Amino acid sequence: MYKEFTSKMDKTIEVMQSDFAAVRAGRANAAVLDQIKVDYYGTPTPIQQIATVSSPDPRTLLIQPWETKLLKDIEKAIQMSDLGINPQNDGRVIRLAFPQLTEERRKELAKQVKKYGDDSKVAIRNIRRDAMEKFKAQKKKSEITEDDLKDIEKELQKITDDYVKKIDELVAKKDKELQSI
């Protein structure tokens, strides 16, 4: 009965975790490029689908496009993103050098992580609200009783609380990870 709503909540957590992966944490991580799209023959395309991304050392990403004419487009897309790293184009590859995190940048990233967590909590609560509206409509049509509705409301609240707690734990874990860098 709750499967539809728990799967939506699971999806919300997955989205939050992919957002977390894109948070730059002082180490070179190809996931930071996931949100960046390059115009490839009129279609916004993820960098990983038009180039090879490698990490020759812990602080550098190397982007080697399959077509050299894409170098400028990739460079421009990275500059326009909120990545905060200036790409270095040598005519064959683009290098992204990740600087050591400053305390100020660490705090910014922690705020960003908290915002992702808060956004996810709002999404979870919206899913709960939509579920309640669906069940209230069923009660109105006399498909379920008042007692059923009360039980459903309690169960939905418990599920929501569990997911919010899970989000808080993931945010705390990511925050701790940021502080240890």
Which H or E run includes 93? none
**How far, in Å, CA of 162 to CA of 168, rounded?**
10
- Say if residue 96 is exposed, middle or buried (CB neighbours under 10 Å; 0-12, 13-18, 19+): buried
| pLDDT tens sequence across 100-118 | 777 887 888 888 889 999 9
**Which pTM value belongs to this model?**
0.68
Q: Over 70: is that where the pLDDT of 36 sits?
A: yes
User: Which residues neighbour 144 within 8 Å (Cβ) at sequence distance 6 or greater?
Assistant: 135, 138, 152
Torsion sign (Cα): 132, 134, 140, 141 = negative
Mean pLDDT (the chain) is 86
Question: Which domains, and CATH codes, for the chain?
Answer: 3-20+102-179 (1.10.132.20), 27-97 (3.30.1360.40)
What is the pLDDT confidence band of residue 24, given thresholds at 50, 70 and 90?
low
Of 54, 15, 12, 47, the C-alpha closest to 33 is 47
Task: Report residue 138 as tokens.
Answer: 């069923």
Handedness of CA 171, 23, 61, 57 (dihedral sign): negative
Higher pLDDT, 22 or 48: 48
Tens of pLDDT, residues 46-64: 888 888 888 888 778 888 9
What pLDDT digit, counting tens, does each position of 118-165 carry? 999 999 999 999 999 999 999 899 898 899 989 999 999 999 999 999
